[in-house]
Amino acid sequence: MDELLTKENIDYKERAREVAEKYVRPRAAELDQTREYGWDILEALKSYELTGAWIPKEYGGHDAGVLNLCLIVEQLSRACGGVGVAFAVNALGSFPIILGGTEEQKQKYLPHIAKGESLIAFGLSEKASGSDAGSLRTTAIADGDDYVINGHKKWNTNGGVASVFTIYALTNPNKGIRGISPFIVEKDTPGFTVGKREDTLGIRTVSVNELEFDNCRIPSSHLLGDREGGGFKNAMMTLDRARPGVAAQALGLAQGAFEWALRYTSERRQFGQTVMSHQAVQFMLADMATQIEAARQLVYASARLIDSGAKNINKMAAMGKVFATDTAMKVTTDAVQLFGGYGYCNDYPIEKYMRDAKITQIYEGTNQVQRLVIGRALTRELKELTGHLDVTVEHFPDYDPEA
């Protein structure tokens, strides 16, 4: 794949790989057990100038784009999926500001995120509104020069360590999704509390928290953009750009698990020969390698499409996400199988890959929702497709659409 990457791409990939091998892999098991955030890894990412790679240069970033973001996340996730998402979620949280913030808001917040001085989280989901993001109930009611926020948010990755949050709330509850607006909320704002931390199956190094708002008063200048009502569109545009990052996390997990499986099956001997020598195992490994490479091509293609400035990106972003995350779940599960009984024990690193992989099929839009996104895109494209066909059903007298 390196032959298809630019020198800049390879540079980001190699720096991220060095951080992963030197700083992430040695601590992956410990961070999984203790559930501590890898602050020392964040310092390494800062020293290797990887933080804020996706942020425009005028705001302190590298303007490196989504593909380079994916390359970094992939390499980190090869060593630890939790560290991979802890990095990627800063892009998810800052994309709303990049896409919809005022110049003043961008200048105030993005440089600190780019330097790794501030971590940011994304607050959209609620207890009763996960995939159905338009049904959220948190409100932000204008009161003079302020907004008063009441409600709660669920599943906030990085919630326990972030100092800045992008939050979506109803400014006009009677307008449905047209009444949703995006806001910036700082951690120490009165009335805002970082609540319960979830005891998650995987990605345990990164905190996933509830957020609670009880008459949380913020200045009107914290409304993202210059008017109310653009929250749903801002959130959907953000997720389209962030999904390749989740796909890259899944890709890295699949690659990392596959590499462990190759090593183990080439060393473990059964029936007088290495496990890898058995044809059944070779077929499994061949399928794993093929699926990973197919996922890589789709993830990179979706990232390149976004970086090109194309407008219609949601189908490709959804395709990359659904394929890579399904691949990660299958590959990591097969890797556990290849380790046999040892794969089921946490003495070996492989079971963690399977635990970390599962969430990638769920967050930032479940894979069922991704298929819905793809299906709707195909429906929209059908009219254009049929309009360009030179033949119609009249050319086929035996055609019966009811058959």
Please report, as a single letter, which amino acid is at residue 66: V
Q: For residues 231 and 168, is the Cβ–Cβ distance under 8 A?
A: yes
End-to-end CA distance of the chain: 46
Distance of CA 255 to the CA centre of its chain: 17
CB-CB neighbours of 137 under 10 Å: 14
Q: For residues 113 and 145, is the Cβ–Cβ distance under 8 A?
A: no
CB hemisphere CA count around 333 (13 angstroms): 7
Q: For residues 253 and 357, is the Cβ–Cβ distance under 8 A?
A: yes
Write down the catalytic residue from 74, 126, 210, 364: 364
For residue 150, list its beta bridge partners. Answer: 139
- CA 51 – CA 54 distance, rounded (Å): 8
- CA 276 – CA 264 distance, rounded (Å): 9
The tokens describing 156, both together, are 């906030």
Residue with tokens 């996730």: 77
CB-CB neighbours of 179 under 10 Å: 18
Pairing of strands 120-123, 164-170: parallel
Helix 279-307 vs helix 231-267: angle between axes, to the nearest 10 degrees? 150
- CA 35 – CA 13 distance, rounded (Å): 27
Catalytic site includes residue 364: yes
Pairing of strands 164-170, 146-157: unpaired
Residues annotated as catalytic (active site), given as ranges: 364
